[in-house]
Amino acid sequence: MSRAQSAHAVDIEKAPPPRQQAVLVFLGLMLAMLLGTLDTQIVATAMPTISGDLGGLEQFAWVSTAYLLTFSVTTPLYGKLGDLLGRKRVFVFAIVVFLIGSALCGAAGSMTQLIVFRAVQGVGGGGLTVSIFAILGDLFSPREGARYQSYATATFAVSAVSGPLLGGLITDHLGWRWVFFVNMPVGAIALLMVAVFLPPPGRRGTPRVDYAGIVTLGGAVSCLVLLTNWAGTAYAWGSAVIVGLAVAVLALGLLWFAAERRAAEPVVPLRMFTSSTFTISNAVAFVGGFISIGALNYLALYLQMVTGTSPQNAGLLMLPMTAGMLLATMATGHYMAATGQYKWFPAASMAVSAVALYLLSTMTAGTGFAAASAFMAVLGLGAGLSQQVTVVASQSAVEVRDIGAATATVTFARMLGTSLGASVFGAILNHGLAGRTVELGEGASISPEAVRRMTEAARDAYTSAYADSLSTVFLTALPLTLVGLVCALFLKKLPLRAGGGPGGGR
């Protein structure tokens, strides 16, 4: 097939379905988004009960690591496969694998089986988010799609906060196996809606698979995920294992770069990075992931360890952050749809996030819930100002044939920031607690229940040490936020693409 014929085949797939049909597909995609984002939060809440039932407490961390590993490795691959084979096929495959993995997890008879089945589930989960945003890029132009992307981001924000509460309810009233089985009916409806209403891909030539790029990228991502999860926790930062993983990441990354330069259909086309808009969007997505999700995790720690709030109530007390994120997400989405402009939102996101981090660093054991809630709301506003902007800007900046790869790349950048942020924040927190807790005669990894059982004097001293260490965590993130702000200021003032055709945001 000639180059012209190949381009025509792509245009066939990009032709959007009628509006009513597109909306039905969108509703199915939102169900799938809810499915994928809720799963991680629900499972995390149920894990203490699961480990108590299945045993294997020493394997506890691998349940989440196995999912994150396969999720991370497959995320970049799904984007390119969608470009080559058609978004519908890839989405159907991903959700079917996710549901099979869910059913197997619910039936697991040991912790080892659960770890293996969570890895299977992660293979499907890696394709859900990428396919959802890439399909939205096919259904709507970047300008029109900004509004719909904001709905998807809002779905993610709501599920992130409601997940722990729902996980606790399901575990308490139905049993932990239903944490996985509940995915089946929701996933089946989402699969049916997309399979029926999303048009099939246009006719294509035989895709040329970038096997060298897939292997080297998969290896590099695997080592990177293990490094960010193990560094400072399972192994010291300077240990042979962590140093070895860092060397492997560098070596495999160089091999991947060399492979991509020669590949006819690279899994991550390097041509996308010739667009400054695409490159800056990925940088902002990385910083946003590092800050927002990392801070979210440690805000939950503050509420539980310092104020003595239960996990479920901590989720409810973080609603101001969700409200701030929803407000900013919906406002930016509608503004971009109306004007096609987005230049100042990433910069505003970094600036507001910097203010939020400073405010959070001022919290002490005596900070009231009203003040803490206001600080969380500011952080939510900062996160919401850029989350969907980076995806929409990236899709508008590249050629239509690269929408899937662009979506996967910016999604991976945000996920990488999240993973690295959690690792770095954890190392800073543990270092800050190490000296203070030794003085108190307690360990840094003490549970919230144990804190509540302390004498009043010991509890006050411990919560004060924890609050001081968390203050250092938030202050340490400030310089990276300022780097993100500087990057965002270099975004060109270019409108979002209003229709098909090659990317215009160079």
pLDDT given for residue 205 in this prediction: 54
pLDDT given for residue 60 in this prediction: 64
State how far Cα 418 lies from the chain centre.
7
pLDDT given for residue 314 in this prediction: 65
pLDDT at 100 over 90: yes
If you ran DSSP here, which 8-state letter would residue 254 be given? H
Cα(125)–Cα(119) distance, integer angstroms:
10
pLDDT given for residue 387 in this prediction: 79
Q: How many CB atoms lie within 10 A of CB 214?
A: 20
Are 117 and 104 in contact by the 8 Å Cβ rule? The answer is yes
- Of 326 and 49, more confident: 326
Percent of the chain whose predicted confidence (pLDDT) is above 70: 82
pLDDT given for residue 451 in this prediction: 64
In sequence order, the 6+-apart residues with CB closer than 8 A to the CB of 282 are 390, 394, 409, 410, 413
What superfamily does domain 271-506 belong to in CATH?
A: MFS general substrate transporter like domains (1.20.1250.20)
Question: What CATH architecture does domain 18-208 belong to?
Answer: Up-down Bundle (1.20)
Is the pTM for the entire model greater than 0.85?
Answer: no
Q: Per-residue confidence at 369, pLDDT binned at 50, 70, 90?
A: confident
pLDDT given for residue 297 in this prediction: 66
Q: Per-residue confidence at 7, pLDDT binned at 50, 70, 90?
A: very low
Question: Among 257, 247, 212, which residue's Cα sits nearest to residue 226?
Answer: 247
pLDDT given for residue 245 in this prediction: 93
pLDDT at 62 over 90: no
Average pLDDT of the residues in 25-41 = 81
At what angle are helices 403-440 and 111-139 packed, to 10 degrees? 140
Give the pLDDT confidence of 450-504 residue by residue, as tens digits. 666 777 777 777 777 777 878 888 888 889 899 999 999 998 887 776 654 444 4
pLDDT given for residue 439 in this prediction: 52
Q: Do domains 18-208 and 271-506 have the same CATH topology?
A: yes
- 3-state secondary structure (DSSP) of residue 409: helix
Cα(29)–Cα(262) distance, integer angstroms:
35
Q: Of 109-113, 311-315, 346-350, 369-373, where does the model show the most confidence?
A: 346-350
**Phi, psi dihedral angles at 231 (to 5 degrees):** -65, 125
Average pLDDT of the residues in 170-198 = 86
Torsion of the alpha carbons at 137, 139, 141 and 144, rounded to the nearest 10:
-110
Give the pLDDT confidence of 233-249 residue by residue, as tens digits. 778 878 899 999 999 99
- 3-state secondary structure (DSSP) of residue 47: helix
Average pLDDT, the chain: 79
Half-sphere exposure of 24 (CA within 13 A, CB side): 15
List the domain boundaries for the chain: 18-208, 210-264, 271-506
Query: What are the CA-CA distances from residue 56 to residues 62, 111, 114, 466 (Å)?
Result: 10, 6, 11, 29
pLDDT at 351 over 90: yes
Cα(362)–Cα(225) distance, integer angstroms:
32
Are 417 and 286 in contact by the 8 Å Cβ rule? The answer is yes
Q: Per-residue confidence at 315, pLDDT binned at 50, 70, 90?
A: low
Query: Containing H/E element for 161?
Result: helix 142-173
SS3 content of the chain, % helix, strand, coil (to 5): 80, 0, 20
pLDDT given for residue 10 in this prediction: 42
pLDDT given for residue 12 in this prediction: 40
Average pLDDT of the residues in 214-226 = 87
In sequence order, the 6+-apart residues with CB closer than 8 A to the CB of 274 are 506
Give the pLDDT confidence of 110-153 residue by residue, as tens digits. 888 988 999 999 899 888 888 888 888 778 777 777 777 777 77
Are 465 and 304 in contact by the 8 Å Cβ rule? The answer is no
**What tokens were used for 246?**
């860092």
Give the pLDDT confidence of 149-174 residue by residue, as tens digits. 777 777 776 776 677 667 767 877 78
Cα(78)–Cα(85) distance, integer angstroms:
10
**What tokens were used for 335?**
């503004």
Cα(81)–Cα(398) distance, integer angstroms:
17
Q: Per-residue confidence at 206, pLDDT binned at 50, 70, 90?
A: low
Q: Per-residue confidence at 48, pLDDT binned at 50, 70, 90?
A: low
pLDDT given for residue 503 in this prediction: 45
Cα(13)–Cα(209) distance, integer angstroms:
19
Q: Per-residue confidence at 97, pLDDT binned at 50, 70, 90?
A: very high
